[in-house]
Structure 1
C-alpha cells in the first residue's frame, strides 16, 4: 500500500478508492466487526466525518467492498452440460469465498450483495432451468445450494479461527480419538480421519444437486 495512505503524519488525499483499500485491509485482518468509520479514519489520518463524505455508512462501505471483490473474479470455463456446469459454478463460488472469509460473514447476513456478482447468479439459475426445473424450482434450488455452501464455509471459518487460537488439540478431536470401539464402532473407524464438511463439499454438493433435479 502507498506510504501516504498508511503514514499518520502525512494525511492521504481522501478518496473512495483509498477508503476501500484501507477498509479491505481491516476486514481481511480483523473481520467485519473490526471495520468502523473510526478505524478507517485512523488509518487514513482523517476524521470519521471526512469518511462519511465519501460513503454513507458501514453498510454502504461493505456493499462497495463486496462489489470490489466480485469485480475481480474471472469467469470459469463452463461445461456445456448444465448439470456439470452447476458443479463448476458452485465449486468456483465456494473456493473464492473460502479465500475471503470476511465476505462470508457479510453475505451470511442476507442483506448485502454487490451487483458485480449477478452474472454468476444468472448462470446458476440458467443452468438449473436447462436441467428442466421451472423458474420457481430453479429459485428454490439456488437458495438450497446457497444455504448449504454458506453453512459449510461458516463452519470452516469458525473452526479455523478456533484452531488458530488453541494451543492444544480441540475437544472434538480428543473426544473422537478416545471413543470406545465397542460402543461406537462406526465413529471409532473414522477416528483417524474424521470428515469435515469442507473436505466433503463436492460430495454434498452432488448429492444435493441430484436431489434437486426433476424426476422423470
Structure 2
C-alpha cells in the first residue's frame, strides 16, 4: 500500500475546533449528560487522552461551547426607551436559549458562563439603571427576571421531552379537562387549555418588569 492510500485512511488531525464541533453535535442531540470525553473521542476515532491535550476537562469544554454559541449571536436592534430595551433583550435571550436547550442546563447547573455573552448582561443592567434603579436594585432585578426565564425554559424543555414520548394527552391536561365545575369552577373554565409559562412568557415578563421598575 502506498503512502497516499495510508494517509487517506488515517483519522483527521485533532484540533480544538474539531473537538468543539463534535461536542456541540453531542449536546444538541443528547444534552450535557451525553457529553463525555470518551464520547467525543469515539466520534473522532481518537482516544480520551488525545482530547485532554486540547481541552483540560469537561468544564472547560462546556465553557468553550458556551462561547462558541454566544459568538454566533447577532445582536438585536435596541429601542431608545429603556423598558422596551429590556423587553427586546430578555425576549432575545429567551429565544436563543430555547433554541439551545443544553445551554439552559449548563447555566442553571453551576457557575459556568461564556465571556462572549457579557455584552447582553451589560445591556440589561444598563437598561435597568436607565429605568431609575440603583446598581443594587438593577442587579437584583436582573437575577429576578433571569430566574423566571430559566424556570420557564426548564419546564418547557422537560415537558417537550415528556410529551414527545406520549401518544395521549398529558396527565395534567386530562386532569384539567375532567375538573368538576361545581367544586373547582376556575380550573374547569380552562377546559383543558391550562396556560403554561412558556406559552405566555411575555405576560410574565411584562408583569415582572412593571413591578421591578415601579419599585421606589
Fold match by TM threshold 0.5:
yes
**What corresponds to 2:160 in structure 1?**
160
| RMSD (CA atoms) | 1.0
Contact 1:133 1:214 in 2 (8 A): no
Cα distance in 1 for partners of 2:215, 2:158 equals 37
- Which residue does the alignment assign to 2:48? 48
Structure 2 residue ranges without an equivalent (≥5): 1-8
Q: Are positions 1:123 and 2:123 aligned together?
A: yes
1:127-206 equivalences in 2 (<5 Å): 127-206=127-206
Deviation at 1:113, TM superposition (A): 0.5
Q: Which stretches in structure 1 are left out of the alignment for 5+ residues?
A: 1-8
Tell me, in whole angstroms, the C-alpha distance in 2 between the residues paired with 1:53 and 1:17.
13
Structure with max Cα Rg: 2
Give, in angstroms, the shift of residue 90 of structure 1: 0.1
Aligned equivalents of 1:194 and 1:105: distance in 2? 25
Task: Report the number of matched residues.
Answer: 208
Give the deviation of 1:10 after TM superposition: 4.2
Equivalence map 1:22-171=2 (5 Å): 22-171=22-171
Q: Which runs of 4+ in 1 moved over 4 A?
A: none
Find the aligned partners of 1:215 and 1:175 in 2 and give their Cα distance: 38
Q: Is the Cα–Cα contact under 8 Å of residues 41 and 51 in structure 2 kept in the other structure?
A: yes
- Report the alpha carbon displacement of residue 167 of structure 1 after superposing the two structures with TM: 2.9
d(CA) in 2 for partners of 1:119, 1:61: 21
**TM-score, normalised with respect to structure 1:** 0.94
